[in-house]
Amino acid sequence: MKKSLKKKLHLKGWTKEEISHAHKIIKKAEKNKHPHVKKLENSLFWFTLIIGILGTIIFSFVLVPILMVNNNAWSYVLTGLFGFVLGALIVIIVKDLHWLEGHHHLFMTLLIPIIAIFNFFIVVNRVNVLNHALGINSYHNPIIIGMVYFACFLIPYLAFLLYKR
């Protein structure tokens, strides 16, 4: 049983014996969990991770025409909006996966945005090359675009982690 759950139960007036008894019941239930349920929980984690990675790739390609036309703050605003939306979608899925531990959160929190930064770096560089070839005077800094996405992706997830405590 997580310390936060023990603390919540204690604040609600549960005695140490009641908390200990609940802990034993939860441990027994986890131990007796059907193997298919364990596999399903594990696959939900990987499915969420894949959704995050594919969502990042799709959002980056949706941004191509926007980046080609705009060379102003709207490019950054829309990039941030896409990052925030995908981050919120991941939070909606993850909040129901109560069995996730700290290393799952760390893995998901870092892997998706890091892949996003590399993906945006490649896409924005290609957009810059395409703009130059077409004679469009529009240049975007791929590192800044990637960092805006990274920061906005993390906002809902960090809010979820802080609220959960």
Q: Where are the domains of the chain?
A: 1-32, 35-164
Q: How far apart, in whole angstroms, are the C-alpha atoms of residue 3 and residue 5?
A: 5
Task: Check residue 99 and give its pLDDT.
Answer: 66
Q: Which two tokens stand for residue 160?
A: 């979820």
* 89, 160 contact by CB (below 8 A): no
Q: How far is CA 51 from the centre of its chain?
A: 10
Six-digit token string for 71: 């060379």
Average pLDDT over residues 110-137: 84
- What is the rounded average pLDDT for all residues in the chain? 82
3-state class of 32 per DSSP?
Answer: coil
pLDDT in tens, 66-87: 888 877 788 889 889 988 998 8
For the residues 40-59, what does the mean pLDDT come to? Answer: 81
**What percentage of residues in the chain have a pLDDT greater than 70?**
93
- Closest C-alpha to 87, from 163, 145, 158, 144: 158
The pTM (predicted TM-score) of the whole model is 0.69
